[in-house]
A = this chain, B = another copy of it.
Amino acid sequence: MSVESKKLKYNEISEKISAYRLALTTLNWDSSTIAPKKGASYRNKMAALLSGELFSIQTSDEYIALIDDLSKETLDDVTAREIRLIKNNLDKARYIPKEVFIEYAQLTRDAENVWEKARDDHDYEPFKPYLKKLIEMTKKVISYRKDDRPVYDQLIDDFETGITLADYDVFFKKLKEEIVPFLHKIIDKKIPEPTWLTRDVPIEQQRKVVDILMEYLNYDKESGYIGESAHPFSSHFSIHDNRVTVRYHQDMFTSSIFALIHEVGHATYNGQVDEDYQGRAIADSMTYGMHESQSRLYENMVGRSRAFWSSIYPKVQSVVDALHDVTLDDFILGINHVALSLIRIEADELTYPLHIMVRYEIEQGLFDGTYDVEGLDQVWSDKYEEYLGIRPPHNGLGILQDIHWSGGAFGYFPTYALGSAYSAQWMMAMQKDIDVDHCLENNDFRAVNEWLKQHVHRHGGVYEPNELLFAVTGENFNPQYYVDYLKDKYSKLYDINE
């Protein structure tokens, strides 16, 4: 077969894969938003069947041979990158014996069930042997790869290509040395949470705030949609169809708002990818960290800034009764309130990366032998006490709070912190080109979107994080921007001399 025929064949299969992915995305969106409960079991079974069809295509001899073939050809940069991504994933999976894969899949299913009960019972003991097995099994699965690096290094690389353990070590060391003591100065001030944050805000009023925000953020309803779901998420259907969901909390309305801004960040990223990549894997193969860098830039760097709210706060105040006596200054302080923080997903911007640091240190220790599952709940609690100034009252609010490990996702957590850190670096670069505060104050969010489109979004997954960071900011990932940003922002908010 000529290289042209191979490419045609590759495009044909890729399109078919995209069709299955769109169907599964649609089924999943439907299922998480409006689908009636009683249809769930049939729907899930059918979705699993379709996933199986997709899996068959992606693991067919024909497809694998084609990818191997094409990886040896000279191709345009984008196709070459796409083939490399697919081949890397194939290479990771192809030598795993089927029975090992099945054993691993079964283990994670069982472990998730055990974890869920353990969390509800606040009891680490039943989960402990599963955590042990999960680590052993992960090591075993990884051992089939033709890759000599230590297991955790490989896992880290799986979730964020090109970012190494050494990079993370530098990053988290900075957080530990600079942010932990800084946080404790704030904690020592014992500033109570503003009471207006938990005032009742009727859903109807929250919907009006959402309308104001969507207009401000230029989130276009002709290529987007705002659904409702138990947990907010964003869903990529195609470049011109990126949806988000919101969950309205009557007694925590700001939480709903910032979750939504976060998801709009993800949706805008996917929606501003170069149209030429429509339907190709490259359109949607950004790393976790890169994706999170956009959602967090929206949610925190921009969304919790004074400049952002200064232009729309009067409108928002006019539709939310509970804000009638809350000044813009009060509002900005409230949405940036730093609290003693036990639960990652409820953490404020400053404490969030420290939650991740705990998990990173523990994961690293589990794989290099520093820690064992025995007594790990105490290690967790000790670290929380040391870094975050609070000790979990029980393991349900401690080591058992996240689902990730029960699914075998080791090395995933760090990308959450990385996203925030990247976003500070993007922000720094953006501010060199445009006056971000001025744009925000003048209702010109389009300029922010446009900068991100030109420098980040349009490339989709064409570049690795460090490639793109270097091209745009002139250096590889550098966590100093993030640390400086956090200290600068919170020093001003909490009147702390650094």
Contacts and interface: CB of A to CB of B under 8 A. Distances in A.
A221 B36 contact: yes
Interface string A16-47: 10111011101101100011111100110111
Given A42-B240, A241-B42, A16 B49 contact: yes
Interface string A213-249: 0000000111111010000000001111101000000
B30 A26 contact: yes
Given A30-B30, A38-B222, A225-B34, A49 B241 contact: no
A60 to B, nearest CB: 14
A479 interface: no
Contact of A241 (B29, B38, B225): B38
Contacts of A279: 42, 45-46
Contacts of A45: 279
A186 to B, nearest CB: 42
A35 B221 CA distance: 10
A12 to B, nearest CB: 10
Given A22-B46, A23-B23, A39 B278 contact: no
B224 A15 contact: no
Nearest to A33: B34
Contacts of A222: 36-38
A53 interface: yes
A16 B45 CA distance: 10
A50 interface: yes
A43 B225 contact: no
A8 to B, nearest CB: 16
Contacts of A38: 220, 222-223, 240-241
B23 A46 contact: yes
Contacts of A221: 36
A241 B50 contact: no
A270 to B, nearest CB: 11
A225 B50 contact: no
Contacts of A26: 23, 26-27, 30
A44 to B, nearest CB: 11
Interface string A38-80: 1100110111011001000000000000000000000000000
A23 B16 contact: no
Contact of A278 (B18, B42, B239): B42
A96 to B, nearest CB: 26
Given A39-B241, A42-B240, 7 more contacts: A19-B49, A20-B50, A23-B23, A23-B24, A37-B223, A38-B223, A39-B237
Nearest to A239: B42
A18 B50 CA distance: 10
B27 A23 contact: yes
A167 to B, nearest CB: 37
Nearest to A42: B238
A293 B23 CA distance: 33
Given A35-B241, A222-B38, A43 B16 contact: no
13 contacts: A19-B47, A19-B50, A22-B27, A22-B42, A23-B50, A26-B27, A30-B30, A34-B227, A39-B237, A39-B241, A42-B240, A43-B241, A53-B53
A133 B323 CA distance: 68
Contacts of A42: 22, 237-241, 278-279
Nearest to A271: B38
Contacts of A36: 221-225, 240-241, 243
A46 B19 contact: yes
A227 B225 CA distance: 14
A276 to B, nearest CB: 13
A240 B19 contact: no
A27 B29 CA distance: 11
Contacts of A240: 36, 38-39, 42
B224 A49 contact: no
A39 B27 CA distance: 16
B50 A237 contact: no
